[in-house]
Homo-oligomer: A and B are copies of this chain.
Amino acid sequence: MSAARNPEAGPPGEAGRPRPSRAERRRQTEERILASARREFAERGYERTTIRGVAGAAGVDPALVMQYFGSKDQLFRQAVHVPAGEELPAEPAEFAELLLSILGVKLSGQAATMPLLRSAFTHPEATEAVRASLAAQIAQGARAIPADDPELRSALLVAVLLGVTTGRHLLELDHLRDASPEQITDLLRPAFQALIRGSSEPDA
């Protein structure tokens, strides 16, 4: 600690380089490891990914991963940590559209939640994280549902999102995988509306 200079403050002797030295390089390799870990956790799940595996994929030494993150569990936590995106509840009328747009982004890109979701059923900590996140979404959504049993309706809506995303990305069911996000959201729209308000056909 005593003789170490602040790596951010002092510029190196070379003038031309955009100073990729010291702590900057460390942050880069750390990010490389995290990216590699996310890939491995996403496609193999917690128990099947190994420290050696992510180190190899990142091109670094296994011991370095331990040095940086301490343990496999802490690596997992940092890899799957999502900034807890807070979404605002909309009015009941547009609530379906909000949900559909959320589903849209989950369907298009390889969602950042996939590493977590893959391990959600086998790794206890991942289970708890996913459950807590979904519970928050459910509670939030329930406030935008005017019909009876708002919590259960909200839970069912979240379960639908869960089933569709897992079916597409994790199980890769053919038709779900091939369809465009728009196709899916279009087909789901009436179902969502039916779930949000009480009936599909207003009075039979």
Residues of A within 8 A of B (CB): 44-48, 117-122, 127, 130-131, 134-135, 138, 149, 151-156, 158-164, 166-168, 170-176, 179, 183-184, 187-188, 190-195, 198-202
Contact = CB atoms under 8 A, between A and B. Distances in A.
A166 B167 contact: no
A194 B184 contact: no
12 contacts: A44-B122, A45-B122, A117-B121, A120-B170, A121-B121, A121-B166, A127-B171, A152-B175, A156-B176, A156-B188, A190-B194, A190-B199
Stoichiometry (number of copies) = 2
A176 B155 contact: yes
A173 B187 contact: no
B149 A187 contact: yes
Given A47-B122, A149-B187, A155-B179, 10 more contacts: A45-B121, A118-B122, A134-B171, A135-B173, A138-B173, A155-B167, A159-B160, A193-B200, A200-B200, A201-B202
Nearest to A130: B171
A161 to B, nearest CB: 7
A187 B152 contact: yes
Contacts of A176: 152, 155-156, 159
B122 A171 contact: no
A47 B49 CA distance: 11
Contacts of A174: 135, 138, 155
